[in-house]
Structure 1
């Protein structure tokens, strides 16, 4: 599939939004990047993960606490991904480029690869959200059907019942399968990877080996294979499900769209900002606990429109964006509670699996 194009629009909605957001930051005199509350959260999460890891590997708690701590570790890995790595990869964690680089680099330590993530997430997903054949985030074939344009199999009729199982496998497959597929094929889905430098290759292999030592080799040596395997499965399954469900609630729900480019022109119908609003949803934005844990990714609309603004500012700029949408007659998709978004996602899977 050729890379779609967005129509050029004079006096675009995106330009109006940028103007209003810029005026807000000038008025309040704040930086658009992270602040001390974000830095403190990053420290809390990293220290917590280190503590749980050390306690599990070197002090070997009993079976009950091992299960609990393994589940907590899975949640902490997800939280670091949402709060530290994600902002760092978008250059919004700090005003200093080197700090953003370190924050983004945390993904390599946790088993992923920052080079692959940048291409898959920053370059492709953020540009062509929910465009089947381009956006790799909605490609879970053949196991799940995420768009009506994807091939349908008989098992999809039940995907709203079994989706949780495949979501739980995400983290495991991400670090052990999907990164390697991208590396050896030099593609993310149908999109060609940009050329990797020598340092990119060294980081890829060096940190894959480091992760294997940190999360496989050393724990097996310290606690034995069986205890490690049980703990490792709990960690990866919990992390996989949390990572999957948060991102899916933002795009694959009943009210979001899945636009396709015009076959003759290769262009999408809407300008980029309106495309983002039609393909993205918020959830539980009044819930401060959820916002803290998921790094503001429940404000997914704000994130997609302004990915270089740190998530600590999303509650404030969401009011500006919502007001602009009302004035321009553009739908702002939002679910007030997590359970409503989950119910909509399940309903979406059921509909797409049977349509």
Structure 2
């Protein structure tokens, strides 16, 4: 960890630990305006093409809210902890209908320390319906084996339920916490209130003016398209074959990964993908997942500049640093459903197995620097 500490000191010296709160709030306001403006266009328009444009714009704005809130959930938007939490409650449960406390547990507390570790990271475990590991396919029998071998035929349609699945899983998590006095905290109460507020703002109140069927139909379309948007923004960092899967090595081994080579764990299981100006705006740092996983408290605004130094650091110290084109990364995120990838038994098995340098021209990327901030 001393290598990472030295790197962190260099980033601190460059001032990248400062929170660009005003810029991030401006970006959030833009995304919210785009999301709501797109819906307004659907409501007032009588032209099918304009309605389709409105739905598309609203989906893009909603994705921007999701990725911007992702930064806040890591306390990287503002210096004040309460403001980061308030922004997370606004973006996830109130605006998107996705539980904030479930996100903090699943993503921040579990996924980040153990990315792509089968048995620990739920993002890497799609069972019982789907799998992207060779081991699951090999162990399956009968109809289950046949399904895994043909699941790719259904994955495009399954992604449509991606956002809805996050919503309902989060609601179940919050209800479970509220029912259990040992787990219940004030955060779960706030989360539940925001989820109720989401239903009121997005379904109940609009239904009074436009009728329940029309509102439900538009809401369903919005959630379906958001499912696809979330997939193309978040899956490319961990789904392609280049992002290694690891075995948890038995029960109770979460602590093993916390004490193992942290840099190797993060860089071998995580990928970056290239985007242009607008892609960076709507991805808000999820396109720089290597930087984010190693320095989650830094604002995504600084990731493009950090990447120049971190890439060189990884190459000099024998750690992988891979970047794919966005379309290539999305395609490979889908390919693993037809060609599942292996599960490595130990983290040490990845040393030397994952290439340090990018081998293809498509992996070489031009750095474009945009000033954004660290948390």
Shorter-chain TM-score: which interval? Answer: 0.7 to 0.9
Counterpart CA distance in 2 for 1:115 and 1:354 is 32
Matches within 5 A, 1:288-327: 288-327=277-316
Distance 2:265 2:182 in 1: 25
Per the alignment, in what secondary structure is the counterpart of residue 95 of structure 1?
Answer: coil
How much has 1:278 moved relative to structure 2?
A: 0.8
The 1:51/1:194 distance shift into structure 2, 3 A limit, reads: farther
Instruction: For 1:232 and 1:324, locate their aligned partners in 2 and report how far apart those are by CA, in whole Å.
Output: 46
Relative to structure 1, the CA distance from residue 20 to residue 205 in structure 2 (aligned partners, 3 Å threshold; closer, same or farther) is: closer
Distance 1:51 1:68 in 2: 11
SS in 2 for 1:326: helix
| Superposition deviation, residue 56 in structure 1 | 4.6
Residue in structure 1 matched with residue 221 of structure 2 by the alignment: 234
RMSD of aligned Cα (Å)? 2.8
Name the CA distance, whole Å, in 2 between partners of 1:21 and 1:303: 13
CA distance in 2, matches of 1:318, 1:67: 37
1:186-205 to 2 correspondence within 5 Å? 186=177, 195-197=183-185, 199-205=186-192
Q: How much does 1:75 deviate?
A: 2.2
Q: Which range is displaced more, 254-263 or 123-132?
A: 254-263
Aligned equivalent of 2:87: 103
Q: Report the Cα distance in structure 2 between the residues aligned to 1:30 and 1:193, rounded to whole angstroms.
A: 41
Moved more, 41-50 or 266-275: 266-275
d(CA) in 1 for partners of 2:216, 2:238: 33
2:268 corresponds to which residue?
A: 278
Cα gap change, 1:186 to 1:135, in 2 (>3 Å): farther
Kindly provide the CA deviation profile for residues 47-92 of structure 1, in whole angstroms up to 9, marking residues without a partner as x.
33333345555x4655443333223222211110101x11111000
**Partners of 2:42 and 2:52 within 8 A in 1:** no
Q: Measured at CA, do residues 149 and 186 of structure 1 come closer, stay the same or move farther in structure 2, by a change above 3 Å?
A: farther
CA contact (8 A) 2:119 2:247 kept: no
- Output one character per residue of 1:200-251: Cα deviation in whole Å (capped at 9) or x when no partner: 3432332222111211122222222332233222211111111123211100
> What are the Cα deviations for residues 143-200 of structure 1, in whole angstroms up to 9, with x where unaligned?
220333446432222333322222221212222x21133234559xxxx998222x33
Tell me the CA shift for residue 40 of structure 1: 2.0
Normalization by structure 2: what TM-score? 0.80
The structure-2 alpha-carbon separation of the partners of 1:76 and 1:82, relative to structure 1 and needing over 3 Å to count, comes to same
Shift of 1:125: 0.6
Contiguous gaps of at least 5 residues in structure 1: 1-11
Structure 1 pair 306/215, CA: closer, same or farther in 2 (3 Å)? same
